[in-house]
Structure 1
Amino acid sequence: HDDGYFLLLNGGHTVATVHTDRREYEMVDDTTFQRLIGAALDAMGNLVTLHLADVKIETQSLGAGDSIAGYATRRFRLLQEYSVSIGAMGFTAANQHHVVVTDFWVSPDLRLPPNPLLELLATVETALAQRNEDFVHRSAAARAALFSGTPLKMVITSRSFDVDRGDSGRVAAGEHAVRTFEVTRVERASFDTSLFRIPDGFTRKDNPLSFKLF
């Protein structure tokens, strides 16, 4: 059992993992933290191979969105589509096609701090593509061109099918998974600044998340 918490420093661009039971902490930059899934796949070396093809990344501005947590929003959409060939121990284990659509609701009147944990969770649906440098950078650039800042709401809709079995019809029929992240309340408040500092007497340890990235 590990009693601890995440602490966002440097305007949300540094993530500290604080272990209160061991009086230790680790530090990692937000980019490394957000790409943890791809880094973990990289750490597996050649045991598992992933080859991407037919990559399509598109964006849309969908105009005015719903009011979220009392704030007017603009709605944006990011489409990520790709095929992936999964190999293990030199054999092709599966050929899959994935379609991931992420809708964002962003308030032009509210600047939320970066949230690396939210960004990490938002990559789960595209986990098998996170090992591909071009896919990661193209996706990040497409989103950055849409909006800046942290969205008040994200809805991630994902579909996938086995290419070899030819079950794309099942996906076209509407079978999909949906995950929603939403800020439900925003308030201005004052906090003790000590809450946002590493506690005195804690020892910094090497970061176990420091996989090789690109």
Structure 2
Amino acid sequence: MRLRFARPARFAAAAMLPLLFAAAVPVADGTTYEFIMKTQSTQTGNKETVSMRGRGTFTGDDARIEIVEAASSTGGAETFGGKGTYFIVKNSGKEMLLVDPNEKQYMKWDIANMFAGMSKVVNAVGGLVKMKMSDIKVDAQDMGAGETIQGYATRHVRMVQNYTMTASMFGRTSKTRSETTTDYYFAPALKNLSNPFVSNSQAMAMMSQLDMFNNPDYKNQMAAANAKLQYGVPLKTVTRALNTDEKGKQETMVTTMEMVNFKSANVPASTFAIPAGYQLVEMPSFNTATAGNAGQSGGQNTGDAKTDGPSIVDEAKTSAAEGAKEGVKEASKEIAKDAAKKKLKGIFKR
């Protein structure tokens, strides 16, 4: 398996998708559906592109999530193990497995550990890059009844997240104002099925950023706003982001996520079973050294968690130092991305 990490915020959003989608449908004998994420931004001339596309299959407390397509902006398909891989969600989300038919391997998917690791990557460069949040405003408002989606009545909740981020490195400073509005269209009828997934996935994504920024004010405001989102499954989510740098240059991005084409289906039990002969491999820790021999086949066996080379955290420090040569702004934006390019690209090809 191969796993790559994109920028922390984007990765957090992408990484939470399997849990979010696992909560998305009512259960009969079985249900299938599709999901799609589209993005448009000033960087691409406001051309709409598909960031992610996939499908889900559900019956009882079990689910199978397949990522059919993932653009590089969300980490690419390798963020989820590579083309052809899929997730198995067992016992209403208490257990998640990532299965790779190409390598005949599977691993336990620990989202909490991954988000904690992303925080370590950013915090590890604290001695080089200082990031400070100010002018923070985070809130969520109930906008009343929303549009009917896939036959479900929805509740419209809007979250606003605004702050100024100041980054400094070796005496050089960059300041960016971030203003983000997210419109959620929740399905209250699915609340009993979705709460364990939606609340956990949102909290995971939130905490991944809170630890990175280490700002109590942001943490408290975000937690209070997040508590207002417990209405069920967000069948549609529209996020509008506006970033303005210190020179007044603006960048906008609109991301829309929808769940569509719900259908009843007869689903065999084997859909949620690990195929015979597949090997269990261990999900790597961010404290574990990255592989110096990334070209070798196979994942990390559960009995051996050590490899040659510097750790992922060390790679983040190195990337930050190199990024300083090109200016603090780009360094602060690309820390995680640069680390991924150097050592994380073949993390499961040890």
2:235 corresponds to which of 138, 152, 163: 152
Whether 2:267 is the aligned partner of 1:191: answer yes
**Alpha carbons 1:25, 1:202 under 8 Å: kept:** yes
**Alpha carbons 2:140, 2:160 under 8 Å: kept:** yes
**Alpha carbons 1:50, 1:128 under 8 Å: kept:** no
What's the secondary structure of 2:212's corresponding residue?
A: coil
**Alpha carbons 2:86, 2:98 under 8 Å: kept:** yes
Aligned mates of 1:188, 1:146 — CA distance in 2: 28
- Aligned residue for 1:95? 175
2:162 corresponds to which of 63, 76, 81: 81
**Alpha carbons 1:23, 1:203 under 8 Å: kept:** yes
- Aligned residue for 2:277? 201
Structure 1: unaligned runs, 5 residues or longer? none
Aligned mates of 1:94, 1:157 — CA distance in 2: 23
1:19 corresponds to which of 94, 97, 100: 100
Q: Which has the higher strand share?
A: 1
What's the secondary structure of 1:72's corresponding residue?
A: coil
What's the secondary structure of 2:264's corresponding residue?
A: coil
Aligned mates of 2:233, 2:121 — CA distance in 1: 25
Structure 2: unaligned runs, 5 residues or longer? 3-81, 288-311, 313-350
Aligned mates of 1:4, 1:191 — CA distance in 2: 19
Give, in angstroms, the shift of residue 156 of structure 1: 0.3
Q: Which digits, 9 at most, give the CA deviation of each residue in 1:126-151, with x for residues without a partner?
A: x9767125445743542232324331
Q: Which has the higher helix share?
A: 2
* TM-score normalized with structure 2 length: 0.48
| One-letter amino acid of the counterpart of residue 160, structure 1 | N
Aligned mates of 1:44, 1:140 — CA distance in 2: 26
- Aligned residue for 1:108? 188
Q: Which digits, 9 at most, give the CA deviation of each residue in 1:10-66, with x for residues without a partner?
A: 323443221222222221334445677545534656444322222211110000101
Q: 1:50 to 1:15 in 2, by over 3 A?
A: farther
* TM-score normalized with structure 1 length: 0.74
How many residues matched? Answer: 199
Give the root-mean-square deviation of aligned CA atoms: 3.4
Q: Where does 1:1-214 land on structure 2 (aligned, <5 Å)?
A: 2=82, 3-32=84-113, 38=119, 40-42=121-123, 46-88=127-169, 90-111=170-191, 113=194, 114=197, 131-133=212-214, 134=216, 135=218, 138-162=221-245, 164-165=246-247, 167=248, 176-208=252-284
**Alpha carbons 2:137, 2:221 under 8 Å: kept:** no
Q: 1:43 to 1:196 in 2, by over 3 A?
A: farther
